[in-house]
Amino acid sequence: MDADLTPQQLRRAAEIKEKLNDLNKELRRLVDGSSSNGAASGKKRTMSAAARRKIAAAQRARWAKLRRATYD
């Protein structure tokens, strides 16, 4: 099949193939969720100890409120 193509056709085919590869890469990035804005960069998000304490205190308050409501 390649023997039937002219050099100009082969160059054009190579350009098209390169464009397809670029589009496939971009599509893969979109589907995988890794965007260029850093929103889903794959980094593990960590919380500070103070933030964990604050969340834990809020949860204890919710449980205490619930327990008070069930015993009243």
69 vs 57 pLDDT, higher one: 57
Please report which confidence band the pLDDT of residue 44 belongs to, taking 50, 70 and 90 as the band edges. Answer: confident
pTM: 0.40
What pLDDT score does 33 carry?
73
Q: Is residue 38 pLDDT above 80, yes or no?
A: no
Residue 2's SS3 state is helix
